[in-house]
Structure 1
Amino acid sequence: MAPASYIEDTKDEHLHVENAFYDRGYVPDTPEEKKLVRKIDIRMLPMLWVMYILNYIDRTNIGNARIAGMATDLSMSSTDYSTALSIFFVGYLLNEIPSNMILSRSKPSYFLPATMFTWGCLTIAAVGVNSTGGLIALRFFLGIIEAGFFPGVMFLMSCWYKPFELAKRLAIFYTASLMSGAFGGLLAGAITGNMDMVGGVRGWKWLFVVEGIATVVLAVVAVFVLPDFPHSTNGLTTEERALAILRLVTADTQGTPLTHKQAFLQAMKDKKTWILTVGYMGLTSAGTISYFFPTLMVSLGYSGTQANLMTAPIYVCCLVVCVAVGFSSDRFNEKPYHIAGCAVVSAISFLVTAFVSNSALRYTFIVFGGAGIWSAVPLFLSYALQNFTNREQRAVSIATINGLGNLASVYGSYIWPAASGPKFIQGFCCTTAFVLVGGAATLFNRWMVGDLSIRTAEQDAADEYARNTSTAHPDQKVEKMDV
Structure 2
Amino acid sequence: MSYTDPELPPPTALPKLNEEKYLVGPSKKGPWQKFVSFIWDSDYYEKSDADRRLVFKLDCYMLTALTIGWWLKNLDQNNLANAYVSGMKEDLNIQANQYTYMGTIYNAVVAAMQIPSSFIIMKVRPSWFLAACEIGWGIFTFAQAGANSYQAMYGFRFCIAFFESFYYPCAFFILGSWYTRPELAKRIALWFVAGPAGSAFSGYLQAAIYNNLDGMNGIAGWRYLYIVCGAMTVPCGFILLFLIPDFPENTKIWYLSEEEKALAKARVARNGEFAAMKGDINPKVILSAFRTWHFWVMVPFYLLFGFAVQNGTQFGIYLKANKYSVSMRNVLPSTMYIIQIPCLIIYAYISDRVTRVSRGVIILVPLIWGLFPTGVLAFWGHSNALRVFAFMVNGSIYITPVFYAWVAEMCGKQTELRAFVTGSTSCLFYAFNAWLPAIVFLQTDGPRFKKGFRTTFSCLIASIILTLVMIFMHRRDQQRAAKADQVDQEQPLPTLRADSVTDEEVETKA
Q: Please, what TM-score do these two structures have when normalized by structure 1? A: 0.84
| In structure 2, distance between residues paired with 1:456 and 1:41 | 33
The DSSP-based 3-state class of the residue aligned with 1:142 is helix
* Residue identity opposite 1:271 in structure 2: W
Separation in structure 2 between the aligned mates of residue 62 and residue 23 of structure 1, nearest angstrom: 51
1:383 and 2:406 equivalent?
yes
Residue of structure 2 in register with 1:24 after alignment: 21
In the other structure, the counterpart of 2:199 is 181
Query: Which structure has the bigger radius of gyration?
Result: 2
Report the equivalent of 2:467.
442
Corresponding position of 2:39: none
Alignment counterpart, residue 72 of structure 1, candidates 66, 90, 97: 90
Deviation of 1:186 after TM superposition, in Å, equals 0.4
2:53 aligned with 1:35: yes
Q: Displacement, 1:242?
A: 1.0
Aligned: 1:158 with 2:176: yes
In structure 2, what is the Cα distance between the partners aligned to 1:203 and 1:217? 23
CA distance in 2, matches of 1:313, 1:454: 44
Q: In the alignment, is residue 305 of structure 1 matched against residue 327 of structure 2?
A: yes
Bigger mean CA deviation after superposition, 213-222 or 20-29: 20-29
Q: Is the 8 A contact 2:178 2:268 kept in 1?
A: yes
Contact 1:189/1:305 (CA < 8 Å) preserved in 2?
Answer: yes
Which of residues 351, 370, 388 is equivalent to 1:346? 370
1:360-404 CA distance string (max 9 Å, x none): 2211122223311x2x22222222222213222111121111221
Equivalent in the alignment of 1:53? 71
Give 1:229's aligned residue: 247
Q: Give the Cα–Cα distance (whole angstroms) in 2 for the partners of residues 412 and 61 of structure 1.
A: 22
3-state SS in 2 of match to 1:170 = helix
Kindly tell me: are residues 125 and 452 of structure 1, through their superposed partners in 2, closer, same or farther at Cα, counting changes over 3 Å?
A: farther
**Partners of 1:314 and 1:255 in 2: CA distance:** 38
Deviation of 1:427 after TM superposition, in Å, equals: 2.4
Matching residue of 1:469:
none
Secondary structure, in 3 states, of the residue corresponding to 1:440? helix
Aligned residue number for residue 108 of structure 2: 90
Where structure 1 has 5 or more consecutive residues not aligned to the other structure, the ranges are 1-11, 459-483
Query: What is the letter of the counterpart of residue 201 of structure 2?
Result: F
1:329-344 counterparts in 2 under 5 A? 329-333=351-355, 334-344=358-368
Structure 2 CA distance, aligned partners of 1:228 and 1:254? 15
Contact 2:375 2:457 in 1 (8 A): yes
Q: Contact (CA 8 Å) 2:117, 2:423: kept in 1 or not?
A: no
Cα offsets for 1:306-338 (capped at 9, x unmatched):
211111221111112222222233333332233
Of 415-424 and 90-99, the range deviating more from structure 2: 415-424
SS of 1:224's partner is helix
Alignment of 1:207-246 (within 5 A): 207-230=225-248, 231-246=251-266
Q: Is the 8 A contact 1:63 1:292 kept in 2?
A: no
Structure 2 CA distance for aligned equivalents of residues 344 and 24 of structure 1: 46
2:375 maps to a residue whose letter is L
Contact between 1:340 and 1:440, CA under 8 Å: does it hold in 2? no
Query: Where in structure 2 are the equivalents of 1:182-201 lying within 5 Å?
Result: 182-201=200-219
- Asked whether 1:249 is paired with 2:249, we answer no
The one-letter amino acid of 1:302's match is Y
Q: State how far apart, in whole Å, the 1-side matches of 2:348 and 2:481 are.
A: 17
Comparing 351-360 with 446-455, which one deviates more in the overlay? 446-455
Partner of 2:217, secondary structure, is coil
The RMSD of aligned alpha carbons is 2.8
Contact in 1 for aligned 2:285/2:416 (Cα 8 Å): yes
Query: Which of residues 395, 399, 403 in structure 1 aligns to 2:419?
Result: 395
Following superposition of structure 1 onto structure 2, how do residues 123-134 of structure 1 map, counting pairs within 5 Å?
123-134=141-152
Whether contact under 8 Å (1:347, 1:369) holds in the other structure is no
Which residue of 1 is the match for residue 494 of structure 2? none
Letter in 1 for 2:293: K
2:111·2:429 contact (CA, 8 Å) conserved in 1? no
Number of the residue aligned with 2:36: none
Q: How many angstroms apart in 1 are the aligned matches of 2:323 and 2:236?
A: 37
TM superposition shift of 1:101: 2.8
Matched, 1:425 2:422: no
Greater displacement, 206-215 / 220-229: 220-229
Deviation, structure 1 residue 26: 4.7
Question: Of 385, 390, 393, which aligns to 1:365?
Answer: 390
1-side partners of 2:482 and 2:190: how far apart? 23
Q: Contact (CA 8 Å) 2:72, 2:233: kept in 1 or not? A: yes
Check whether the contact 2:97–2:444 (CA below 8 A) recurs between aligned residues.
no
- Percent identical among aligned pairs is 25
Q: CA deviation at 1:417?
A: 2.3
Q: Deviations over 1:116-148 (max 9, x none)?
A: 111010111112222222211221221111111
Query: 1:150-171, CA deviations, whole angstroms, 9 ceiling, x for partnerless residues?
Result: 1111222223223443222112
Please give the alpha-carbon distance, in whole angstroms, between the structure 1 residues aligned to 2:437 and 2:215: 30
Question: Contact (CA 8 Å) 2:86, 2:222: kept in 1 or not?
Answer: yes
Shift of 1:456: 12
**Residue 110 of structure 1: aligned partner:** 128
Change (3 A) 1:371 1:410: same
**Distance (Å, rounded) in 1 between the aligned partners of 2:215 and 2:284:** 57
Three-state SS of the structure 2 residue aligned to 1:199 is helix
- Show CA shifts across 1:238-274 (max 9, x none): 1111111122133335799984211211122222212
**Alpha carbons of structure 1 residues 78 and 176: separation in structure 2 relative to 1, 3 Å:** farther
Contact 1:283 1:377 in 2 (8 A): no
CA distance in 2, matches of 1:157, 1:275: 23
Q: How many residues align?
A: 445
- The alignment partner of 2:370 has SS state of helix
Output the amino acid matched with 1:232: K
Higher relative contact order (CA 8 A, sep 6+): 1
CA contact (8 A) 1:253 1:390 kept: no
For the residues of structure 2 that align with 1:181 and 1:321, how far apart are their CA atoms?
Answer: 16
User: Do 2:204 and 2:330's aligned partners in 1 also have CA atoms closer than 8 Å?
Assistant: yes
Kept after mapping to 2: 8 A contact 1:288/1:412: no
Residue 453 of structure 1, CA deviation: 8.1
Amino acid at match of 2:384: S
Residue 169 of structure 1: which of 187, 192, 196 is its match?
187
Deviation (angstroms), 1:31: 2.2
Give the match's secondary structure for 2:246: coil
User: In structure 2, how many angstroms separate the alpha carbons of the residues matched to 1:329 and 1:314?
Assistant: 23
- Find the aligned partners of 2:393 and 2:427 in 1 and give their Cα distance: 27
Residues 302/239 of structure 1: CA separation in 2 closer, same or farther (3 Å cut): same
Say if 1:64 and 1:188, in contact at 8 Å, map to a contact too. Answer: yes
Q: Structure 1's 321 and 54: CA in aligned 2 closer, same or farther, altered over 3 A?
A: same
Cα distance in 2 for residues equivalent to 1:23 and 1:302:
62
1:81 corresponds to 2:99: yes
Cα distance change, pair 199–260 in 1 and its aligned pair in 2 (3 A): farther
Corresponding residue SS for 1:159: helix
Q: Note closer, same or farther for the CA distance 1:107–1:272 as it changes in structure 2 (3 Å cut).
A: closer
